[in-house]
Amino acid sequence: MSDPQSRIAEIVNANDVVLFMKGTALFPQCGFSSRAIAILDRLGSKYETVDVLQDPEIRQGIKEYSDWPTVPQLYVRGEFVGGSDIMMEMFESGELQELLATAE
Amino acid sequence: MPMAASDIERLIKAAIPDSEVTIRDLAGDGDHYAARVVSESFAGMSQIKQHQAVYAALGGRVGGELHALQLETAVPQTEKTQ
In a domain, B80, yes or no: no
CATH, domain range A4-103? 3.40.30.10
- For B61, the domain range is 5-74
Check residues A14 and B60 and name the one with the higher pLDDT.
A14
| Average model confidence (pLDDT) across chain A | 95
Q: How would residue A1 be classed by pLDDT, with cut points 50, 70 and 90?
A: low
In a domain, B50, yes or no: yes
Q: Residue B34 carries which DSSP code?
A: E
Check residues A102 and A26 and name the one with the higher pLDDT.
A26
Assess A80–B contact: CB distance below 8 Å, yes or no. Answer: yes
Whole-number pLDDT of residue A82? 96
> What would the pLDDT profile of B9-51 be if each residue is shown by its tens digit?
999 999 999 999 999 988 877 778 999 999 999 999 999 999 9
Please give the average per-residue pLDDT across A17-27, as a whole number: 97
pLDDT higher than 80, residue B80: no
Count of the separate structural domains present in chain B: 1
Please give the average per-residue pLDDT across A35-49, as a whole number: 95
Kindly determine whether residue A70 and residue B62, on different chains, have CB atoms separated by under 8 Å: yes
Report the C-alpha gap between A85 and A99 in whole angstroms. 16
Long-range contacts of A55-63 (CB under 8 A, 24+ apart): A57/A4, A57/A7, A58/A4, A58/A7, A58/A8, A58/A20, A60/A4, A61/A4, A61/A5, A61/A7, A61/A8, A62/A8, A62/A20, A63/B63
In a domain, B70, yes or no: yes
In a domain, B81, yes or no: no
In a domain, B46, yes or no: yes
Kindly determine whether residue B70 and residue A85, on different chains, have CB atoms separated by under 8 Å: yes
ipTM of the complex: 0.82
Give the full edge-to-edge strand order of the sheet including B20-25: B20-25, B32-38, B68-74
What are the sequence ranges of the domains in chain A?
Answer: 4-103
Look up the CATH number of the domain holding residue B28. Answer: 3.30.300.90
pTM equals 0.88
| Candidate from A69, A86, A89 with C-beta closest to B63 | A69
Whole-number pLDDT of residue B78? 59
